[in-house]
């Protein structure tokens, strides 16, 4: 699998472009765009056809290294491009003008919030219609065609409206380059009559794509490293916490280099899960304020210095603004800036450069890690279940962690020292383990956030969820996109019934693409996360026969297996079949749970977020 670290934003000296016979290149805008997408790492484009983009789709199909994946709706196409970008480093979707563009807009906004470079391509009106008084279909009935563009301006880092071939080459390349450099979505609108017209600017094969490397301001870098090292070397029990912008900065290796050199305990923010190897001997779990991994929150909040690398602090990640973190003890390392306590803030200092340089200046200090190991107590023994007892959600996630689990491990599957993990679970290569380096977990917005956060990820196991934007239904499209990009991994998606009802159609596309993901549909009759924030009759949904729906979508074409699960014995049998005889099929497991069966973390988090939401207006 190609990773985000190998996409074109990492500059390599490029040799002279290979000589291409003139007959091998069509010299059109459509061909140029298709080649550019391939060069930056895109192999699959998610699309919904419409009359304004049909000619462009013909040119994308004609590119032998590009696969067009037709989706059921534009929202899911955008979510799929989001999931694809998480696995590949960049994604792309193609929709039609306005009706398609405004449908995909929500997904593009989510990609913007999560710092994902998604190239959103829209088939636009005929270039002759711009500047006329004509009214076109697929618009709101006005001769002004800029409504879609204005909507995208706030959720993309760059916008290109191509209605003239003379500057099309420059507009397309600038938009793609900007998206990769800023790790944000780009909007490209292409007139429907332009993709197939030859033009001199496309007379030769595109020069190989290249982005110049970003280089830190050397004086600023040295000043930031010196000030930070002085700050941390005076501390007694410092810690490091990884945030989601590690991905943007492509600094995972530099982060591990810093962790190894410092000896500090390593935690992750919830949205940073999966970006730091959890088998690392200094890993202590998730720092999420009042709902942190057991013993992790205490170690972080009692530290006298904490290094937050690539954090995003919002009301959700701060549990309703309740983190016990003091600014004067905090070093914030963002992708291009370092801020030390209440002191200096130095810009144009890039994260990977800074972390690598800092690792060489720190004294080893394992005091906080030793404190963690001193206070750590393994989780308890699970309660013995009654025969045919209705399945509990925490039992479901116990079996997602490992199919056959030792009784030493309780239902509270918080991370613990990896040596104990290996002893209890038999190691990450145990044939009984459901999670492995060949799997990836996708958690839908809801209680799956909290239950999946407790899973201990084996080495190279992927993990994704949409913490910042939190759009319910995201995971169906994201599962489609991630599985299409990471064909070497089997995706395990945990989705609530309310979220699933928003985007269920593209299970069809997963089956058509031959994907073999395992989807756990948790049927508890409503929007559980909303219930814990503020309950009301609007949080109850109409129940569906979910397996019946998937069977109807399957319709005997492709490989798909469904099952309903009510008890732990049925769950164990279902997981055995999904990982055994049906391992080459899309597996849909509908798990029935009580409407009030939630994680204890959601109960705590929900009450604190509710309190933050209901703060009265400040006195005027």
User: Mean pLDDT lowest for which of 274-288, 398-412, 524-538?
Assistant: 398-412
Give me the percent of the chain exceeding a pLDDT of 70.
90
pLDDT band at 531 (very low <50, low <70, confident <90, very high): confident
Query: Which runs of E-coded beta strand occur in 525-585?
Result: 560-565
Chain centroid, CA 231 distance in Å:
33
515 pLDDT more than 90: yes
Residue 409, pLDDT score: 33
Mean pLDDT (whole number) for 283-290: 95
For 89-174, where are the E strands, in sequence order? 91-96, 118-124, 158-162
pLDDT at site 26: 52
Average pLDDT of span 87-106: 97
What confidence tier does 404 reach under pLDDT thresholds 50, 70, 90?
very low
Q: Could you tell me the pTM of the whole model?
A: 0.91
Closest CA relative to residue 46, chosen from 483, 493, 354, 393: 483
pLDDT at res. 8: 38
- Residues 329, 306: Cα–Cα separation, whole Å: 6
186 touches 158 (CB < 8 A): yes
Over the stretch 303-318, which tens digit does the pLDDT of each residue have?
Answer: 999 999 999 999 989 9
Q: How far apart are CA 464 and CA 472, in angstroms?
A: 14
Q: HSE (CB half, 13 Å, CA atoms) of 418?
A: 12
Q: Tokens at residue 43, please?
A: 């192999």
Q: How much is the average pLDDT of 538-555?
A: 95
- Which tokens sit at 21? 């016979």
- Is the predicted pLDDT of residue 418 greater than 70, yes or no? no
For residues 526 and 498, is the Cβ–Cβ distance under 8 A?
yes
Asked if 143 contacts 134 with a C-beta cutoff of 8 angstroms, the reply is yes
As a whole number, mean pLDDT of residues 403-408 equals 39
Give the residue-averaged pLDDT of 260-289: 96
Residue 420 has φ and ψ, to the nearest 5°, of -70, -40
Q: Strand order in 462-465's β-sheet?
A: 462-465, 439-443, 490-496, 518-523, 586-592, 560-565
Give, in order, the Cα–Cα distances in Å from 412 to each of 114, 375, 385, 399, 455.
Answer: 29, 17, 15, 12, 9
Q: Is the dihedral of CA 285, 287, 293, 298 positive or negative?
A: positive
pLDDT band at 499 (very low <50, low <70, confident <90, very high): very high
605 contacts 450 by C-beta, under 8 angstroms: yes
> Could you tell me which residues come within 8 angstroms of residue 448 by beta carbon, excluding any fewer than 6 positions away?
465, 494, 495, 496, 522
Does residue 263 come out as left (phi exceeding 0), alpha (psi in the -120 to 50 range) or beta? left
């Amino acid at each position: 699998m190609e990773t985000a670290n190998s996409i074109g934003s990492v500059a390599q000296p490029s040799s002279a472009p290979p000589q291409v016979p003139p007959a091998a290149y069509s010299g059109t805008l459509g061909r140029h765009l298709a080649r550019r997408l391939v060069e930056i790492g895109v192999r699959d484009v998610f699309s919904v056809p419409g009359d304004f983009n049909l000619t462009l789709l013909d040119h994308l199909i004609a590119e032998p290294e590009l696969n067009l994946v037709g989706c059921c709706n534009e929202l899911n196409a955008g979510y799929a491009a989001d999931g694809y970008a998480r696995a590949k480093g960049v994604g792309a979707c193609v929709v039609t003008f306005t009706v398609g563009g405004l449908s995909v807009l929500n997904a593009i906004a989510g990609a913007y919030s999560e710092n994902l470079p998604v190239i959103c391509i829209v088939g636009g009106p005929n270039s002759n219609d711009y500047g006329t008084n004509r009214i076109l279909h697929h618009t709101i009935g006005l001769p002004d065609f800029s409504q879609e563009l204005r909507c995208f301006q706030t959720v993309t880092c760059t916008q290109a409206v191509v209605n003239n071939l003379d500057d099309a080459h420059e507009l397309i390349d600038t938009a793609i380059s900007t998206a990769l450099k800023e790790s944000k979505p780009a909007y490209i609108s292409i007139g429907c009559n332009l993709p197939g017209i030859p033009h001199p600017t496309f007379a030769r094969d595109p020069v190989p794509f290249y982005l110049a490397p970003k280089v830190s301001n050397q004086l600023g870098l040295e000043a930031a490293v010196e000030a930070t090292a002085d700050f941390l070397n005076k501390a007694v029990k410092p810690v490091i916490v990884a945030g989601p912008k590690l991905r943007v900065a492509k600094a995972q290796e530099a982060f591990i280099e810093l962790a190894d050199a410092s000896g500090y305990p390593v935690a992750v923010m919830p949205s940073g899960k999966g970006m730091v190897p959890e088998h690392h001997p200094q890993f202590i779990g998730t720092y999420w304020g009042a709902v942190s991994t057991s013993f992790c929150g205490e170690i972080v909040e009692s530290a006298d210095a904490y290094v937050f690398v690539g954090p995003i602090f919002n009301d959700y990640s701060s549990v309703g603004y309740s983190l016990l973190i003091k600014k004067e003890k905090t070093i914030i390392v963002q992708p291009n800036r370092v801020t030390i306590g209440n002191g200096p803030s130095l810009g144009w200092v890039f994260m990977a450069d800074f972390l690598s340089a800092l690792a060489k200046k720190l004294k080893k200090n394992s005091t906080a890690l030793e404190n963690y190991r001193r206070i750590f107590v393994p989780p308890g023994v699970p309660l013995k279940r009654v025969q045919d007892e209705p399945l509990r959600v925490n039992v479901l996630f116990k079996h997602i962690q490992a199919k056959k689990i030792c009784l030493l491990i309780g239902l509270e599957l918080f991370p613990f020292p990896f040596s104990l993990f290996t002893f209890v679970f038999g190691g990450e290569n145990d044939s009984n383990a459901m999670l492995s380096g060949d799997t990836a977990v996708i958690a839908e917005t809801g209680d799956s956030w909290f239950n999946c956060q407790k899973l201990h990820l084996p080495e190279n196991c992927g993990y994704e969820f949409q913490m910042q934007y939190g759009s319910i239904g995201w995971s169906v499209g994201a599962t489609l996109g991630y599985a299409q990009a990471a064909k070497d991994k089997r995706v395990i998606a945990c989705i609530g019934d309310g979220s699933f009802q928003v985007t269920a159609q593209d299970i069809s596309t997963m089956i058509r693409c031959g994907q073999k993901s395992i989807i756990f549909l948790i049927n508890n009759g409503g929007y559980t996360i909303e219930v814990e924030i503020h309950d009301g009759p609007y949080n109850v949904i109409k129940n569906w026969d979910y397996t019946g729906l998937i069977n109807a979508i399957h319709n005997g074409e492709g490989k798909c297996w469904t099952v309903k699960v009510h008890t732990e014995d049925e769950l164990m049998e279902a997981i055995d079949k999904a990982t055994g005889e049906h391992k080459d099929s899309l597996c849909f497991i509908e798990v029935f749970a009580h409407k009030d069966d939630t994680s204890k973390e959601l109960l705590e988090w929900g009450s604190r977020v509710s309190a933050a939401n209901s703060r009265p207006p400040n006195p005027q």
